[in-house]
């Protein structure tokens, strides 16, 4: 493993052996514990794996008849060393996390018209994030239980535009020595999600309503993590999609759905995934699954009117604009928190080039031009060569409210299947379904 980069590298590479110099707790610590409990690196960087482990084609095929928990174990054990979490303990954490789901397959796949739909609503809050947050809650409790004295506690702080908050609360409610504080923007989450968050009676759950947007709430959370004294005093951890363990857990259902589609679509070699996308964490898990060796065709980024990602994959420019209120509020963002992780890989795993462009984008650094692109306040543009490279893995689409409602109506009337306003955005439009439409999973 390579050593960690200098402080403030935006997408911090990490060493499994030594990252303790970044933390006040000790000089030597373990990779998994600190990445999971810390969430953000102390310099506000996002953790990424030092390298992406792979499966051979034979290994991928050998997992075809595995259960969802068995697939999850095979993937996670590639990233979590047994000396940090013994195999039996990891299997137990995964199995307990999966028992919270109403379907034995956790994320079943059904045929809907000209594509397949991966159902991610079988968890306790009906949100796709239940898959990751049931696992993360159990992992938090596991690591905290191994600490002693004052270190045997954790404060989770997160911002939500809806589904993250309720899924986090249901993943953490009742967990020993863990207190959870969730911030959400007033009037910008659905009524049922607000009720899911605010009616949980467990004493370790705390909901805070914020005047402003999701990004305002997220800024409060990021500022808390930047305050080293406060972060260490309360032992602050993250539950938002910036936490690497969430991305790791979500890789599982890309493998699982690939097997279920190709079980029925004989002769199909690759499956494409069309994903309703806000903070880029879900589709980033698909990107990692592809890099690990899963036969994935295209990853289609679906956005609503808040289309910063569609504009990037269309033009190469990542430009911040005002948030537009939509009928899919969990996707109402103007900056995608996990996109930096992808840019890190797109830039050849070079943290310094990414750091320069991101600091310019955030307005904390001077405008800059380097070999990967141009950065200035509220805008980042990559070179044509890198845009072409990005399009080798990704396509994108944008759906407005009128188009989304029309699709919901059509699928309900024609196919007897009811999409929610978020899921409908994942249904690939005709402009992109030329890429294996029958084997695309929204």
Active-site residue numbers?
129
Residue 67, class by beta-carbon neighbours within 10 Å (0-12 exposed, 13-18 middle, 19+ buried)? middle
Contacts of 262-265 with C-beta under 8 Å, sequence gap 24+, read 263/64, 264/111, 265/438, 265/439
Q: Report the relative pairing of strands 296-303 and 394-398 from DSSP bridges.
A: parallel
Q: Under a CB-based contact definition with an 8 Å cutoff, are residues 238 and 246 in contact?
A: no
Residue 145, class by beta-carbon neighbours within 10 Å (0-12 exposed, 13-18 middle, 19+ buried)? exposed
List alpha helices for 163-271, DSSP H: 163-172, 191-198, 214-226, 228-234, 244-264
Q: Which candidate, 235, 337, 220, places its Cα nearest to that of 279? A: 337
Q: Under a CB-based contact definition with an 8 Å cutoff, are residues 67 and 97 in contact?
A: no
As a whole number of angstroms, the distance between CA 246 and CA 414 comes to: 35
3-state secondary structure of 332: coil
Q: Under a CB-based contact definition with an 8 Å cutoff, are residues 139 and 245 in contact?
A: yes
Q: Using DSSP, how many helices (H) and how many strands (E) does the chain show?
A: 17, 14
Q: Report the relative pairing of strands 379-382 and 317-319 from DSSP bridges.
A: antiparallel
Residue 282, class by beta-carbon neighbours within 10 Å (0-12 exposed, 13-18 middle, 19+ buried)? buried
As a whole number of angstroms, the distance between CA 263 and CA 273 comes to: 16
């Amino acid at each position: 493993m390579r050593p960690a980069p200098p402080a403030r590298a935006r997408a911090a590479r990490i060493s499994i052996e030594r990252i303790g110099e970044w933390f006040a707790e000790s000089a030597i610590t373990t990779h998994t514990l600190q990445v999971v409990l810390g969430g953000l690196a102390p310099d506000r960087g996002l953790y990424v794996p030092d390298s992406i482990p792979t499966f051979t084609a034979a290994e991928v095929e050998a997992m075809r008849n595995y259960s969802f928990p068995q697939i999850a174990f095979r993937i996670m054990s590639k990233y979590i060393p047994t000396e940090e979490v013994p195999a039996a303990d990891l299997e137990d954490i995964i199995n307990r996390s999966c028992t919270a789901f109403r379907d034995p397959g956790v994320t079943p796949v059904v045929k809907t018209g000209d594509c397949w739909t991966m159902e991610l609503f079988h968890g306790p809050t009906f949100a796709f994030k239940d898959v990751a947050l049931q696992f993360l809650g159990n992992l938090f409790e596991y690591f905290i239980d191994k600490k002693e004295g004052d270190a045997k506690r954790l404060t989770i702080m997160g911002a939500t535009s809806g589904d993250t908050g309720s899924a986090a609360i249901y993943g953490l409610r009742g967990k020993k020595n863990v207190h959870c504080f969730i911030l959400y923007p007033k009037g910008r989450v659905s009524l049922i999600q607000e009720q899911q968050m605010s009616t949980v009676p467990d004493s370790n759950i705390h909901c805070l309503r914020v005047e402003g947007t999701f990004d305002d709430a997220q800024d409060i959370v990021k500022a808390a993590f930047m305050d080293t004294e406060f972060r260490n005093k309360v032992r602050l951890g993250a539950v938002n999609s910036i936490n690497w363990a969430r991305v790791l857990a979500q890789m599982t259902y890309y493998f699982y759905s690939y097997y279920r589609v190709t079980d029925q679509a004989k002769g199909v070699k690759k499956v494409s995934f069309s994903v309703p996308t806000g903070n880029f964490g879900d589709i980033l898990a698909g990107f990692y699954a592809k890099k690990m060796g899963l036969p994935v065709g295209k990853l289609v980024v679906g956005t609503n009117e808040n289309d910063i990602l569609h504009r990037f994959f269309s033009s190469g420019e990542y430009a911040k604009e005002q948030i537009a209120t939509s009928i899919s509020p969990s996707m109402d963002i103007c900056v995608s928190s996990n996109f930096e992780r992808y840019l890190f890989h797109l830039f050849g795993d070079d943290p310094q080039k990414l750091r320069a462009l991101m600091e310019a984008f955030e307005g904390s650094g001077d405008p800059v031009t380097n070999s990967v692109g141009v950065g200035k306040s509220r805008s980042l543009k990559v070179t044509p060569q890198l845009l072409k490279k990005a399009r080798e893995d990704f396509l994108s689409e944008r759906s407005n409210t009128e188009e989304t409602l029309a699709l919901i109506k059509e699928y309900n009337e024609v196919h007897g299947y009811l999409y929610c306003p978020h899921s409908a955005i994942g249904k690939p439009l005709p402009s992109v379904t030329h890429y294996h439409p029958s084997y695309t999973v929204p």
